[in-house]
Structure 1
Amino acid sequence: MKQKSSEDKPVEATLLTEFDIHLFKEGKHYHLYNKLGSHLMEYMGTKGVYFAVWAPNAESVSVMGDFNNWSKESHKMRSRWDNSGIWEVFIPEAKKGSLYKYFIRSNNGYEAEKGDPFAFSWETPPHTASMVWDLENTWKDKLWMEDRKKKEGKAQPYSVYELHLGSWKRVPEDGLRSLTYRELAEDLPKYIKEMGFTHVEFMPVMEHPFFGSWGYQITGYFAPSSRFGSPQDFMYLIDKLHQEGIGVILDWVPSHFPNDMHGLHYFDGTFLYEHADPKKGFHPDWQSYIFNYGRNEVRAFLISNALFWLDKFHADGLRVDAVASMLYLDYSRKEGEWEPNEFGGRENLEAISFLKEFNEVVYREFPDTVTIAEESTAWPMVSKPTYIGGLGFGMKWMMGWMHDTLEYFSKDPVHRRHHQNTITFSTTYAFTENFMLPLSHDEVVYGKHSIINKMPGDEWNKFANLRTLYAYMYAHPGTKLLFMGAEFGQFSEWNHDSSLEWHLTEQDRHKQIQETLKELNKIYKDEPAFYEKTFSHEGFEWIDINDDENSIISFLRKGNDRKDDVLVICNFTPVPRENYRIGANEKGSWKEIFNSDDSRFGGSGVRNNDKVHTEDIAAHHREQSLSLTIPPMGVVYMKKD
């Protein structure tokens, strides 16, 4: 490749080898971020930037930027000789921080100024240029990364705090602007640690032009949003979280991308990243474009992107958005708006193949991380290994549990006895997948009300119901996820344009909800019965599922050792129950280790004595039983003394 430098001397440089091109064409190059895009380098003693972009249907491509007065002609790229469709050039005038775009003239006459799909940084929206940057960083999370490796394959608690970077906290003194990555690094790790969550999950941090998309309409897949700082600033935030023992899960969106003209859409004058056929390539719900999972280069782009965040940013997991929309050709489409696969079915075979490959590659290269599917249908074996026919995810969001639970809790307690099956049904399929229980951002927007305002009754009952909901959730099999603001009972729906209502945490009832969550997170981590067998039926045993008259359920959670068993009793009405008999598997004494009606949580203080001994009275098909006091609208955890 030759390009005139400022000294009018020929300059030759390339980062791409023939093997790179072979892998790229095969769809097996999983580290494209090291090769494509813009990279600072030195060639023949000259410092500059190497640019490489995939645009196979372009007639010409040039780099326009602030280093050449945005000229469309002065720095033309050369098309490689290997039919890869990659264009490249070395530009001595460019440097770190240079702004640029690709000017693409297609062989069909189309012209466009495009951002770099592999750029590590972008201008802050609404500006749309890419920025030359590097990913140099001195990490200080060695202990975390080593510990993560040691825990690989072992059962561990996942208590996840879902967070939107732009609206967690804002700065009133500065026009209510969002916190920067570095400001978040001062406040967030301390708060997450104090609350006891094991992980934070960031809604999409990748660069996106429209703030109101919450990050789900991405143009810069390889760049953290510059709204909050530089890539190194985001690394600093992750590093600080790791140093406090907190894992980081990133929301990842391989399902669709927006039609912004500086983005991936119609990139080289053709449908390059997306399907040409709108029946496969256009998403009617989100007015966005669907990746062509059958194209090798697109698969390599997406899998490289997944690995990029695990590799360069030390992310501990990826939550994959909208998996259901990828799996079904008829997703959100009417008859005549979709075409069946080669076997006449509605399954998107290319997307299925892609998801399997994505999971295989992630777990091969980063086996101590996790992938989590947001999948809302009954698709089988989402979180089972690919070698037995699964999609290969580590976990799947339990959307059925979320829907049924919120529906049940929205009912007046007097009517709940008619809906016992709603709150117990989830255990009939709880072990078909590795489930995560989500109370996510989707449940507190668009008129659905905040979590606490889904609860019926007056203020006391709303808070009692909320404590009961959380205590039931933490005892239910599966890992946990809670959206920000729900941990202190924010009354308003989430608004991405403002801060959470932190002033509420100065009020007793909201503080007490925080205290409830702190205690639940502590017990969740301290009690092996709650996480060691959370994905297995061996970790769960019903005591009584049938007391619909009192709207009470009781069950055991089990760990690897029987002494770790925890007995859970949930009372979904505001009526206390004295001398309530619960069957026990063996003789002994039990002690109360948690009571959501504890006065320190804002409850009425109805508790059991320090020790409760079994009696030789049969109950629930067991020879022994306990006589307990069940608090009103409360959940009790009991453990063998």
Structure 2
Amino acid sequence: MHLPGGLKKFTLSYREYGVHINKNGSISCLEWCPGVQGLSLVGDFNKWDETAHPYKSLENGKWFLQVPPNPDGTPLLKNGTIYKIAVKKNGNYFYKLSPWANYVEKSKMVFYHPENAYQWKNLVTHLNKSLRIYEAHVGISSPEGKVNTYRAFADDVIPRIQRQGYNCIQLMAIMEHAYYGSFGYQVTSFFAPSSRFGKPDDLKYLIDKAHGAGLIVLLDVVHSHASKNIEDGLNQWTCDDGGYFHSNARGYHSQWDSRLFDYTNLETQRFLLSNLRYWQEEYKFDGFRFDGVTSMLYHSHGLSDRFESYDDYFGLNTDTQSVTYLTLANYLIQKYRPGSITVVADRSGLPTLCRPIEEGGQGFEYRLAMSLPDMWINILKHQQDEEWNINNIVQTLENRRYMGKSVAYAEMPCQSLATGLMDKEMYGFMSINSPYTPVIERGIALHNLIRLLTYGLGGEAWLNFIGNEFGHPEWLDFPRIGNNESFQYCRRQFNLADDKNLRYKFMNSFDQAMNNMEEKHQFLSRGPAIVTTKSDEDKVVVFERGGLVFVFNLHTTKAYTDYWVATDVPGRYRLVLASDVIGGKGSYLRTLRTYDARQPGHHGRRYHLSVYIPPRVAIVLERV
């Protein structure tokens, strides 16, 4: 592939395309808009006159305009100026937003050029150890029914994330999207941070503050599709169905009702690759989570595929153009920011996605383990606790590509394990002064067990969605016509976790304890677990990982005294974590806290520990 000006210049095109102020006060405007009759810069500054500032036609569908400074030396556009691009087609003008717009407020481009550029205070430090991700949506991060801000998130939520023991924040819904309820997945302006949450410098403040707290920040990037909006989106930028998208049926996603990029188009490549450089260079993101990649990988978008053989991955259904783009994107990200992290959201399990490019892979470092939350939701919906198939649970948790790293998580952003487990009783029996009802007792116990089991066995990184760490008691629902535009379910009530009189504090403390244990032992990055017990009869799971011994008793009623737990390392072991101690019950406070590894061996290991394990309790042991 020949890239004009070389890869570096090509992928820094955001510095040329769009509208920019030069040092001498002049304005330079550059756009790619093939097949149209003309472009004009319009706004309040010229009374929206399409003839006042026309662009000049260049070759290959490009248009250029340079506007000299005003007589007093000031630029034509000032900070806060509203402007648009008038695109002429068939004798008519259509007002559009520049694809390269870097700030958009409610479908209007706002010229953003503050007098003083943001001064970064903290150096970017890349993570070279276990990854504990706090996935967050800035808008819903307030306990109040409102859209929260970048600065409030930075000042109020980042210290909480740091205290909770996470080392990475993954930000959703940052790229501008007209429809709030799309969760940020229907992007309208790819270079503009969402104005709902504040100004661009406010986002820089957030990222700077995170870096100062020792946290890296990933951007949830959507390059798999784009909003079909015409007036404020990329759709019909060229006044036809082409432009950055396929102009035929390939350019539409029927299920998502959105537009699909033409990754073979040189200008589409310029646009998307520059977009990655832009977020890295201008906002100092430490990496990306690529969303909706299964849709990119296959002509069928993976909608009807079972992916049961390698023919399903490497047949005619594979969209090689998209695969090539993803490979180039990962190459670019690492070339100019070595150590950056990339995570791929793919349900198909394409074998090469998380292998190095030099091996013929696509270069992603992590894959989201998307089957895990699905498994837990299905179990809780369709099975009684006594019916849980321990072998199937363990197999699903361990089922990932050899030498590929996965991000484990137990619940989706729109789901809530706690709500599914405890439902309406959360509103009446979460006070420590109220009785422990069977529903609440089971709910807190399983919330802790499911998350620890997924954390310990499900991957090489851990992800938690904002609020799930303390069992947020509501499903997530954005304001919409169907709920009278209510914010009731579009918030995070951190006050519940902070209230010492409520049992949410137990789940919050357990989450913190899991992270602290991982920080100390780094078991996520020390190789896979060795499972020694997965008993359907006993409902017990035992595994060793990173020098720790994990023991889970998922039985509903049966406690085990002197239960043999296999280990390969001799010595004395002590309790690191017990799910019921922090869960508020505390039975382990009354038990032996150290255990000696003895012969004979057990389940293929050289030694055994003899432990007491109550029902619906997990313990983790470390060697003294």
Same fold? TM cut 0.5 = yes
Partner letter of residue 233 of structure 1?
D
Residues 576 and 237 of structure 1: is their aligned pair in 2 closer, same or farther, counting only changes over 3 Å? same
Q: Shift of residue 429 of structure 1? A: 2.8
- 3-state SS in 1 of match to 2:580: coil
Match of 2:149 among 180, 184, 195: 180
Q: Shift of residue 84 of structure 1? A: 5.1
CA contact (8 A) 1:576 1:632 kept: yes
Quick check: 1:112 aligned with 2:100?
no
CA contact (8 A) 1:381 1:432 kept: no
What does residue range 252-271 of structure 1 map to in structure 2 within 5 Å? 252-262=221-231, 263-270=233-240, 271=242
Match of 2:540 among 547, 552, 555: 552
Quick check: 1:228 aligned with 2:222?
no
Q: Shift of residue 277 of structure 1? A: 0.9
Q: Shift of residue 359 of structure 1? A: 0.5
Q: Shift of residue 218 of structure 1? A: 1.2
Match of 1:452 among 412, 415, 418: 418
> Hey, what's the Cα distance between the residues in 1 that align with 2:175 and 2:212?
23
Q: Shift of residue 610 of structure 1? A: 2.9
Spell out, residue by residue over 1:234-266, the C-alpha distance to the aligned partner (whole angstroms, 9 max, x if none).
Answer: 100111111111111111000111122232111
Spell out, residue by residue over 1:556-595, the C-alpha distance to the aligned partner (whole angstroms, 9 max, x if none).
Answer: 103xxxxxx1111111123321110112224311111111
Q: Shift of residue 50 of structure 1? A: 1.6
What does residue range 239-250 of structure 1 map to in structure 2 within 5 Å? 239-250=208-219
> Hey, what's the Cα distance between the residues in 2 that align with 1:203 and 1:553?
34
Quick check: 1:315 aligned with 2:297?
no
Residues 388 and 503 of structure 1: is their aligned pair in 2 closer, same or farther, counting only changes over 3 Å? same
> Hey, what's the Cα distance between the residues in 2 that align with 1:168 and 1:375?
27
What does residue range 282-301 of structure 1 map to in structure 2 within 5 Å? 282-301=252-271
> Hey, what's the Cα distance between the residues in 2 that align with 1:409 and 1:217?
31
Quick check: 1:483 aligned with 2:439?
no
Partner letter of residue 378 of structure 1?
G
What does residue range 514-529 of structure 1 map to in structure 2 within 5 Å? 514-528=508-522
Match of 1:37 among 18, 30, 35: 18
Q: Shift of residue 615 of structure 1? A: 2.4
Quick check: 1:374 aligned with 2:354?
no
1:131 matched residue in structure 2:
111
Q: Shift of residue 91 of structure 1? A: 5.1
> Hey, what's the Cα distance between the residues in 1 that align with 2:506 and 2:339?
35
Quick check: 1:87 aligned with 2:76?
no
Q: Shift of residue 28 of structure 1? A: 7.4
2:616 matched residue in structure 1:
633
Match of 1:54 among 32, 35, 40: 32
Quick check: 1:398 aligned with 2:398?
no
> Hey, what's the Cα distance between the residues in 1 that align with 2:34 and 2:191?
21
> Hey, what's the Cα distance between the residues in 1 that align with 2:583 and 2:42?
60
1:363 matched residue in structure 2:
334
1:584 matched residue in structure 2:
567
Q: Shift of residue 27 of structure 1? A: 11
Residues 579 and 365 of structure 1: is their aligned pair in 2 closer, same or farther, counting only changes over 3 Å? same
Spell out, residue by residue over 1:270-317, the C-alpha distance to the aligned partner (whole angstroms, 9 max, x if none).
Answer: 310110112x10011111100111101101110110111111111111
Quick check: 1:75 aligned with 2:53?
yes
- Runs of at least 5 residues in structure 1 that lack an aligned partner in the other structure: 1-19, 336-340, 445-449, 559-564
Residues 629 and 91 of structure 1: is their aligned pair in 2 closer, same or farther, counting only changes over 3 Å? farther
Residues 130 and 97 of structure 1: is their aligned pair in 2 closer, same or farther, counting only changes over 3 Å? closer
- 3-state SS in 2 of match to 1:606: helix
> Hey, what's the Cα distance between the residues in 2 that align with 1:459 and 1:601?
11
Q: Shift of residue 509 of structure 1? A: 1.5
> Hey, what's the Cα distance between the residues in 1 that align with 2:23 and 2:345?
44
1:620 matched residue in structure 2:
603
CA contact (8 A) 1:597 1:631 kept: no
> Hey, what's the Cα distance between the residues in 1 that align with 2:63 and 2:410?
44
1:15 matched residue in structure 2:
none
- 3-state SS in 1 of match to 2:507: helix
Q: Shift of residue 40 of structure 1? A: 1.3
Quick check: 1:198 aligned with 2:167?
yes
Identity %: 25
Residues 111 and 576 of structure 1: is their aligned pair in 2 closer, same or farther, counting only changes over 3 Å? farther
1:157 matched residue in structure 2:
130
CA contact (8 A) 2:103 2:109 kept: no
Q: Shift of residue 409 of structure 1? A: 5.0
Quick check: 1:433 aligned with 2:404?
yes
Spell out, residue by residue over 1:608-634, the C-alpha distance to the aligned partner (whole angstroms, 9 max, x if none).
Answer: 523211222332133421100113212
Q: Shift of residue 455 of structure 1? A: 3.1
> Hey, what's the Cα distance between the residues in 2 that align with 1:314 and 1:483?
22
Partner letter of residue 141 of structure 2?
W
Residues 472 and 603 of structure 1: is their aligned pair in 2 closer, same or farther, counting only changes over 3 Å? farther
1:412 matched residue in structure 2:
384
> Hey, what's the Cα distance between the residues in 1 that align with 2:11 and 2:552?
48
> Hey, what's the Cα distance between the residues in 1 that align with 2:477 and 2:400?
34
> Hey, what's the Cα distance between the residues in 2 that align with 1:109 and 1:23?
35
Residues 428 and 122 of structure 1: is their aligned pair in 2 closer, same or farther, counting only changes over 3 Å? closer
Match of 1:501 among 466, 481, 493: 493
CA contact (8 A) 1:439 1:483 kept: no
Spell out, residue by residue over 1:190-226, the C-alpha distance to the aligned partner (whole angstroms, 9 max, x if none).
Answer: 1111211111111121111111111111111111111
> Hey, what's the Cα distance between the residues in 1 that align with 2:304 and 2:294?
16
CA contact (8 A) 1:99 1:129 kept: yes
CA contact (8 A) 1:597 1:604 kept: yes
- 3-state SS in 2 of match to 1:331: coil
Q: Shift of residue 170 of structure 1? A: 5.1
1:543 matched residue in structure 2:
532
> Hey, what's the Cα distance between the residues in 1 that align with 2:35 and 2:186?
25
> Hey, what's the Cα distance between the residues in 2 that align with 1:21 and 1:57?
22
Partner letter of residue 211 of structure 1?
Y
Q: Shift of residue 432 of structure 1? A: 4.8
Partner letter of residue 611 of structure 2?
L
Match of 1:169 among 127, 142, 157: 142
Q: Shift of residue 87 of structure 1? A: 2.8
- 3-state SS in 2 of match to 1:493: coil
Q: Shift of residue 110 of structure 1? A: 5.9
Partner letter of residue 132 of structure 2?
S
Quick check: 1:273 aligned with 2:239?
no
CA contact (8 A) 2:263 2:322 kept: yes
> Hey, what's the Cα distance between the residues in 2 that align with 1:440 and 1:254?
24
- 3-state SS in 1 of match to 2:375: helix
Return the TM-score normalized by structure 2.
0.87
Partner letter of residue 353 of structure 1?
T
- Runs of at least 5 residues in structure 2 that lack an aligned partner in the other structure: 70-75, 306-311, 423-437, 479-486
> Hey, what's the Cα distance between the residues in 1 that align with 2:282 and 2:579?
42
- 3-state SS in 2 of match to 1:612: strand
The Cα RMSD (Å) is: 2.5
> Hey, what's the Cα distance between the residues in 2 that align with 1:49 and 1:132?
13
CA contact (8 A) 1:55 1:87 kept: no
CA contact (8 A) 1:67 1:94 kept: yes
Q: When the two structures are aligned, how many residues end up with a matched partner?
A: 577
> Hey, what's the Cα distance between the residues in 2 that align with 1:334 and 1:360?
31
Match of 2:317 among 323, 346, 352: 346
> Hey, what's the Cα distance between the residues in 2 that align with 1:368 and 1:316?
8
> Hey, what's the Cα distance between the residues in 2 that align with 1:441 and 1:405?
10
Quick check: 1:533 aligned with 2:496?
no
- 3-state SS in 2 of match to 1:215: coil
- 3-state SS in 1 of match to 2:26: strand
Match of 2:294 among 320, 324, 336: 324
CA contact (8 A) 2:413 2:465 kept: no
1:561 matched residue in structure 2:
none
CA contact (8 A) 1:27 1:299 kept: no
Which segment is superposed worse, 320-329 or 424-433? 424-433
